[in-house]
Structure 1
Amino acid sequence: MKHLPKHLRPRWRYLAVGIETWPDASIPRGAFQRSLWYAAQNLLGDPGSADADLTVVTYEFGDGAGEAIVRARRGEVDAARAALACVADVDGEAIGLRVRGVSGTIRACEERYLGRAAGVRDERDVAFESESRRAYSRDGAVDVETPDGFVGATDEDVSR
């Protein structure tokens, strides 16, 4: 089977996506892809979702932070951004996504926007609600572990 000529091949744009969630969350690539497809289908409908053709190209996640490259057809970048904004949780785990930038090639996307995952994670015990609790600090954001789950805070909200 012959390849299509260059002027007939589909053109792609690559979105660099920053991922953030609670420190104990485990989000596999397949679950992230599935949530993205469902969000696109619910927002854009079947024809719009097919036009955008969203695919996770690269995915890296660990310790509550990660990054991914999502491929979308040229001309559908706004629809892709909207679908990413609709992803609120993956397999019951709350998630925050931020589009860092858009590029025409995977290489340029990696060089310009990726490699800056959330900073080094620091574990420590802090005083929160008059009790000593385990906390995970990352770039000024502190996730305090409570019996009911995690609570988001800042360095000023907790004392060492």
Structure 2
Amino acid sequence: MKHLPKHLRPRWRYLAVGLETWPDAEIDRRDFQRSIWFAAQNLLGDAGSADADLEVLQFDFGDATGEAIVRVRHGHVEEARAALACVDEIRNDPVGLRVRGKSGTVRACEEKYLGADGQIRDERKVVFGDAQRSAVERDGLLDVRTDGAFAGTTELDFE
């Protein structure tokens, strides 16, 4: 079967997405894809989500942060950004998503927006709520473990 001529092929845009969640969350590509489809369907409806055709091409997650490349049809970037903004949890783990940028090719998306984000993860003991607790430090922010959950804090909360 022959390929379609270039002017008849679908055109795509690629969104670089940053993920952040609590340190004990485990998220994989399949869960992320399912959450995006669910959010797009709820926001845009069946026809709108089919037109936008959101698909996760690359996914990397570890140490409570991650990044992904999401493919979207040309002309539906704003709808895709809105759908991504609706994702607030993945598999009952709260998550924050941030669209770092958009690009016309996967390679340009990787080079411009993805890569090392400079966050250094460190675990240490802190005094929080009149008790000594373990905390995970990332880029000046501390996630303190409290009774099976986490509390987001900064260095100023301990001085």
Q: CA deviation at 1:118?
A: 5.6
Secondary structure at 1:75's aligned position in 2?
coil
Structure 1 position 110, deviation (Å): 0.3
SS class of match (1:56): strand
Q: What is the 5 A alignment of 1:55-134?
A: 55-117=55-117, 119-134=119-134
Listed one character per residue, the Cα deviations across residues 84-128 of structure 1 (whole Å, up to 9, x for unaligned) are 000010110100000000000000000000003360101000010
Partner amino acid, structure 2, of 1:129: G
C-alpha separation in 2, matches of 1:158 and 1:64: 22
Q: Which residue of 2 aligns with 1:140?
A: 140
- Count matched residues: 159
Provide runs of 4+ in structure 1 moved above 3 Å.
none
Counterpart CA distance in 1 for 2:84 and 2:23 is: 21
The amino acid of 2:81's aligned partner reads: R
Indicate the SS of the match to 1:125.
strand
Aligned pairs for 1:11-22 within 5 A: 11-22=11-22
Q: Give the structure-2-normalised TM-score.
A: 0.97
Q: Which deviates more from structure 2 when the two are superposed, residues 110-119 or residues 37-46?
A: 110-119
Residue identity matched to 1:132: Q
CA distance in 2, matches of 1:36, 1:138: 26
Kindly state the Cα deviation for residue 22 of structure 1 after the two structures are TM-superposed.
Answer: 0.2
Q: Which runs of 5 or more structure 1 residues have no equivalent in the other structure?
A: none
- Segments of structure 2 that go 5 or more residues without pairing to the other structure are none
1:10-62 CA-partner distances (Å, limit 9, x unpaired): 00000000000000100011010000000000000001001100000000001
TM-score normalised per structure 1: 0.97
Supply the distance in 2 between the matched residues of 1:150 and 1:78 (Cα, whole angstroms): 33
Report the 3-state secondary structure (helix = DSSP H, G, I; strand = E; otherwise coil) of the residue aligned with 1:37.
helix
